[in-house]
Every structure is written in structure tokens, then in C-alpha cells.
Structure 1
Amino acid sequence: MSDIATVPAGSTTAGPDSAPAADTALVQRRIRRWLLLFIACLALSGLTAFPLQTETSLLSRLVDATGLDGALPALGAWVDRVREGVADGYGTHPFLAYGTDWLAFAHLVIAAAFWGPLRDPVRNVWVVRWAMLACGGVIPLALVCGPLRGIPVFWQCVDMSFGVVGIVPLLIVHRLIRTLEWQRAVTAHHDFARAAPCP
């Protein structure tokens, strides 16, 4: 079943940008499922920023072992350069790792901000919209800072892909929240109509 449905023709409960008035609990479950996926990815990307030296060393060995360095020499050279840079920097100036520790912490804090939409997605839809803006901001950041820092174009594309991929579940969640908001409004209207005395 698709997470994004369309309003049936002639529906009396249809509204702008809304899906059919499906079961509210089902829509809430879908919202939570997509949000939990996004939170897990954020937390994972944060946690993997802590052991950066170990990871770059493992990545370099993996590229060598799989033969990717022969098939994609630019990738192999870049991975080796990053591994050497991290090892030299952390070895000579270990306080540099403190910067990536804060980067990891920031990812975890951002993930924690989604506790609000998990509890009440309609009230906290602004968090989802803010995250969508952040995903869009990944692209200009990579395009501007990448060349300034000597990052190869292909790796800038890898960085930009995080924003492109990350915004997909957020767009789905935003659409589902609009659906939930509409369902609540329709339900409240019907409840008011039943409770209001006839003139």
C-alpha cells in the first residue's frame, strides 16, 4: 500500500493536499515509521563520526581489497589521501578529533529534535519543515565549501546525495501530516455539528 494516496473523486472529506480520510491511526503509524527511519539514519551518521580514524583506515583497506582503486583510481587516491590526512592530523594534533566529536553530537541532537513530531506530528510539523530546509542547504554548502576545501567533484556529489535522499522521507512525512491535519479538522467539524443544538 502506498504511503501517499490520492483523494477519491467526489469525496466530501477531501481538502487541499489531503489523502482520503483513511484511518487516523494508520496515518499516524506511517508517520512514525518514516520518522523513525530518518532518526535512525541521523543517529547512525552521527555515531559513525566518532571513530573517524578507524573508519577511514577500514575504508582504505576495503577499497584495496575489492580492487576499486584499480577500477576507480581517483576514488582510491582520494580515500588514501583522507586516511593519511586523518591519521597525520589526529596523530600530531589529537584535538582535531574534538571537532568531529561535536559534529557527531550535533547529529544526535538533531535526531532528538524529532521526538516532538513523533509525539504530535501536526503541532510539530515545523520540525519537519526545518529539516527539509536543512536538506536543501546541503547542496549549496557542498558546492561552495567543497571547492574551497579541495574536495573532488565526485565526493561533493556524494555529500549532496545525503540532502537529496534525506528529503524524500521528509516529503512523505509532510504529506502524511497534512492528511492527518485534515482528518482531525473534519472530525472536529463533525463532532461540533453533532453537539451543536439545532436552531
Structure 2
Amino acid sequence: MLHPLRRARICVSIVMLGLFVSGVTAFPLETELRGFVRLLQRPVLLHFATQSHLLPWFSRVLKALADTNARYPFLAYGTDWLAFAHIVLAILFVGPYIDPVRNKWVLQFGLIACAGVIPLTLIAGPIRTIPFGWSLIDSSFGIFGCIPLLIVLHDVRRLEAASA
């Protein structure tokens, strides 16, 4: 069994990596989406991608994004700030990585943020005409994000008890 501090650091690293990757991959959205649509169009995936409505949905999103980027490139600046925020949030978790007991407030903040993902997707999704299935996928980021944070908070309690 892993020592609580080691396991806490592994879990915090997972959260940091997820936030960092989410941030970095938000910059080249059009390029990534174009590659994903090409992947879905390959013969081995085409039937599934069409029947599951993934290809029509992602093709529509790509068309909208490409059109927006061509006509109104300044709107992507908002996505750049979203990406930057994810990277900054990843840096925020350096504190709990170093000392999870002293920085447990960051872990609690992370749990609150994860919980906030669910109502956001369920309220904003329909307003923005996001398919319900996609809102569920987005909600899962909040749900799965809670798992490592809850593990760390459990380990923090064990570390606090051990030092008392």
C-alpha cells in the first residue's frame, strides 16, 4: 500500500496533468478538430461515426469554428483565456503537491469547481444547443475530477491524524 503522502502526490499530479492538457489543447482547436473529423471519416470508423451521429456533430462544429475563425478571429481570444485559466489552475495545485495538509483548501476548491461543472453543463448545454449526450460527457469531467481529489482529502485526514 502506498504511503498517504505519495498517493496524494500521485493524485494531485493526475489533476494537474488533466488541467494542463485541457489548457494546452484548447489553443489549436480548429486543427485538432479537423484531424478528429478526418479520423472519423476513415473507412474503419465511418459507419460507427455516422450512425452514432459523432461525424455529423463534429463536422458541424468544425464548420462553425472554421467559419468563425475566418470571419471573426478575435473570438478565439476567449478560448485562449480559457486555455490559460486551465494552465493557471494546474499551477495552483503545486501547493497541495508539495504540502497537501497545509494546502487542503485548494483541494476543497477543486471539489467545488468539479461540482459546479454539472449544473453548468445541464443549464448552459441546452441554451447553447449542445446535444444532451455531450453535456453528460462534459459532466463526467466534474465527476471524474472529484475522484483523485477525494482520495487526496482522505489521505490528508490520515496525515493530519498521524502528525497529531
Please confirm whether the aligned pair reaches a TM-score higher than 0.5, indicating the same fold. Answer: yes
| Counterpart residue number, 2:35 | 58
Q: 1:102-126 CA distances to partner (integer Å, 9 max, x unpaired)?
A: 0000000101111111121111101
| Counterpart residue number, 1:31 | 8
| Counterpart residue number, 1:11 | none
Which has the larger helix fraction?
A: 2
Tell whether 2:111 aligns with 1:132. Answer: yes
Structure 1 runs of 4+ with >4 Å offset: none
Percent sequence identity is 47
Q: State the distance in 2 between where 1:81 and 1:161 align.
A: 23
Shift of 1:96: 1.2
**Aligned letter for 1:143?**
L
| Counterpart residue number, 2:26 | 49
**Aligned letter for 1:32?**
R
Q: 1:127-151 CA distances to partner (integer Å, 9 max, x unpaired)?
A: 0011001001000000000000010
Shift of 1:79: 0.5
Q: State the distance in 2 between where 1:159 and 1:58 align.
A: 21
Q: Which of the pair has the greater relative contact order for Cα pairs under 8 Å at 6+ separation?
A: 2
Q: State the distance in 1 between where 2:104 and 2:7 align.
A: 15
**Aligned letter for 1:69?**
A
Q: State the distance in 2 between where 1:69 and 1:175 align.
A: 41
| Higher alpha-carbon deviation: 62-71 or 31-40 | 62-71
Normalized against structure 1, the TM-score is what? 0.78
Tell whether 2:47 aligns with 1:70. Answer: no
Normalized against structure 2, the TM-score is what? 0.94
Tell whether 2:145 aligns with 1:166. Answer: yes
Shift of 1:34: 1.0
Q: State the distance in 1 between where 2:96 and 2:133 align.
A: 35
Q: State the distance in 2 between where 1:63 and 1:103 align.
A: 26
Q: 1:29-63 CA distances to partner (integer Å, 9 max, x unpaired)?
A: 11111111110111001100000010111111111
What number of residue pairs does the alignment pair up? Answer: 161
**Aligned letter for 1:171?**
L
Shift of 1:75: 1.8
Computed over aligned residues only, the root mean square deviation of the Cα atoms, in angstroms, reads: 1.1
Q: How do residues 178-193 of structure 1 correspond to structure 2 at under 5 angstroms?
A: 178-185=157-164
Q: 1:169-191 CA distances to partner (integer Å, 9 max, x unpaired)?
A: 11101100111011011xxxxxx
In our comparison, the structure showing a higher alpha carbon Rg is 1
**Aligned letter for 1:173?**
V
